[in-house]
Amino acid sequence: IAVLSYFILFQQRIEIHKLRQGDNLILGFSIGGGIDQDPTQNPFSEDKTDKGIYVTRVTEGGPAEVAGLQIGDKIMQVNGWDMTMVTHDQARKRLTKRNEEVVRLLVTRQSLQKAVQQSMMS
C-alpha cells in the first residue's frame, strides 16, 4: 500500500475549465518541448534528454493557475491521451480541442518528487 501511495503522490491530477475569450477557449499557460524539439534547452527538466511537454509559463489569474498548475510541471496525460511521446504541434492540438470545455491533466512536478524522497528518507 505504501508503494502504491508513493506512485500516486508523484503525480497530480489537475482539472482546468477553459475560459472563453471571444472566439477562443484559452487555458492560460504555455507549453514547451516535444519529440521534435531540442531537449537540452529545456530549463525545467532534470534530465536533459527528456522530450516531454513542460509548462513554461502560467498567466496570472488564468484558469490554469486557478486549477493549481505550476510553472515547470511536466504534462503526462491530457484527458487520457499520452503526452510523453508527442510532437509539439500534436500537444497543442490535444490541449486546444474546440469541443472540450474541461481538460484533465496528469502532471508531475520535481518539488513533489523531492518532498516524497525526503519523507522516505526520514
Q: Is 77 a residue that touches other proteins (CB under 8 A)?
A: no
Give the integer Cα–Cα distance in Å for 47 and 104: 25
Question: Of 45-64, which residues contact other proteins (CB under 8 A)?
Answer: 56-57, 59
Q: Is 96 a residue that touches other proteins (CB under 8 A)?
A: yes
Q: Is 11 a residue that touches other proteins (CB under 8 A)?
A: no
Smaller CB separation from other proteins, 75 or 109:
75
Residues 6+ apart with CB under 8 A from 99: none
Candidates 16, 13, 14, 34; CA nearest to 100 is 16
Q: How far is the CB of 27 from other proteins (least distance, A)?
A: 5
Q: How far is the CB of 12 from other proteins (least distance, A)?
A: 19
Residue count, binding to other proteins (CB under 8 A)? 18
CA atoms within 13 A on the CB side of 95: 27
Q: Is 38 a residue that touches other proteins (CB under 8 A)?
A: yes
Q: Which of 69, 83, 86, 95 binds other proteins (CB under 8 A)?
A: 95
Q: Helices in the chain by DSSP H: which ranges?
A: 2-10, 63-67, 88-95, 110-121
Candidates 53, 58, 96; CA nearest to 77 is 53
- Residues that bind other proteins in the complex, under the rule CB under 8 A: 26-27, 29-32, 36-38, 41-42, 56-57, 59, 88, 92, 95-96
